[in-house]
Every structure is written in structure tokens, then in C-alpha cells.
Amino acid sequence: MSLKTPAEIKQLRELGKIHASIIARLEEIIAPGVTTDELETLSLNLIEEAHLEPAFKGYKPYGAQRAYPCALCVAPNDTVVHGIPTEMSYTLQEGDIIGIDLGVTRDGLVIDAGKTVAVGEIDEGAQRLLHVTQEALARGIREARAGKTVGDIGHAIESYVRSAGYGLVRDLCGHGVGHSVHEEPQVPNFGQPGIGTKLVPGMVLAIEPMVNEGQGAVHFSDDGYTVTTVDGSRSAHFEHDIAITDGPPLILTER
């Protein structure tokens, strides 16, 4: 587990604001007819304009057969996370939802966050799925205080998602972040209060509930990255990086 200094957390907050502005720019162009390739190209251009580097491109997670080839992860409809935009080459359709997940790095520090976005007009079911997933993230973040545990975060997310009648992805989880893309501790989206790693000031966590309209079961693609729902139901993903402080959690990836 890697604790961050106050100076590093200040730098991460500055990096997080830039990251949030890039996500907002991507969200502005998401519309029917836009391709995932175009989203990847824009991501690279915006990262370069901000004098940052992509954190995902060339990153090889533990156990992966190859490095991730893009700056952006995309997740349309029944894709949960980690779709490869250039290999998916999907053209967005009216009524779709699409997750956009981006990592950026500067001066040895890393920010990783994302959200699920509506493509044009979406139906009430998709609207509710996005609302519940975003609220689940907010409830998890509220538990991210010194003296609490990762189990408190997971329990807050799980209890809310279950009460709303959705499937919760258990095969993927949040994680520490800041000095690299993935650090300890793991932050599951389920758990029991008071169980697991205790939260202390200086921790930086990526909290990221993944919620399905159907069941929580997922399929891992042969491409080594793309994760989809087993039952073909739509999935949403919202993610913020937060710093544990002596008081309330500090959201690093808000504009």
C-alpha cells in the first residue's frame, strides 16, 4: 500500500481537474454516428494538448498477455468495462449508453476515472441504471473516511444496488491509485462493515461500482480486456479517485 504526501495529493487534485475536463470534452462529442475510434483519437489529442501522457496505453496489468493498446477504455451497452476502442470500432447509435474510462499521468502520478454517458435520448430504464450507479458511487465515497474500512465502502455500494433491484459485478473492483494505475488495497463493491483494509490519511482510492440491469455475472473476452455481461443486459460504470484525509474524503477527479 502506497500513501501519498500532502504535496502529492495536491498534485493529484490538479491532475484530476484536467482529467475531468478531458472527460467533459469527450462527453460533449458523444452522439449517434460517432465511432469509438474517433473517441480514442480525441482522447490522445486532448491528453497531448494538456501536456500529459496516457496512463493506460502500453500498460500491462498483472497476468495480462499483452499491454493495453489505447488511451481510452470504452463500454457500450452490455460491455461492463475495458472495451478497446480501435478494435471494437463501434458506431454509436441513438439510445445507447457508453462508458468512457481514462487514465492520465504526469510527473510519476496517475489519475484514473470514468463515467457512463447517454448517446442521444435514452429510455427510462437506461436513465435509472445510470442514476443508481452514480448514486452507488456517491454512497461508497461517503464511507471513505479515516478509521473506516474497504468493507464499509463495499457494503454501502452493495446494499444500495441490491435494494434498487440490480445486478452487481463482483469479479472486478476498485483499487488504490496514484503512483501507478493499480495499487493495493483492492476496493470491492461489496463487503461487510468494519471488515478489510483500514482506511488511513494519505490513501488514494479509485472507487468504481459496476452495475448491471440483469445479473452480475460477466464474461472476459479473448482480447484480454473487454468485459461484457453474460446475459446481454446493459451495464453502467462510474469511477472517481478520492483521497482519504483527516476529515471528509477529497474527490480528486471532479471539475
For position 119, what pLDDT does the model report? 98
Q: Does domain 6-247 have CATH number 3.90.230.10?
A: yes
Quick: pLDDT tens for 177-229.
Answer: 999 999 999 999 999 999 999 999 999 999 999 999 999 999 999 999 999 99
Report how far residue 212's alpha carbon sits from residue 229's, in angstroms, rounded to the nearest whole number.
Answer: 7
pLDDT of residue 243: 98
Q: For 69-105, how does the pLDDT look when each residue is reduced to its tens digit (9 = 90+)?
A: 999 999 999 999 999 999 999 999 999 999 999 999 9
Q: Quick one: pLDDT at residue 204? A: 98
Own/partner pairs, 155-160, CB within 8 angstroms, 24+ separation? 155/190, 155/191, 155/192, 155/193, 157/189, 157/190, 157/207, 157/209, 158/189, 158/190, 158/191, 160/132, 160/135, 160/136
Residue 63 binned pLDDT confidence (cut-offs 50, 70, 90): confident
Sequence spans of domains, the chain: 6-247
Cα dihedral sign for 140, 143, 144, 148? negative
**pLDDT band with cut points at 50, 70 and 90 for residue 255:** confident
Contacts of 49 (CB under 8 A, 6+ apart): none
- Phi, psi dihedrals of residue 43, rounded to the nearest 5°: -60, -50
Cβ contact 97:48 at 8 Å: no
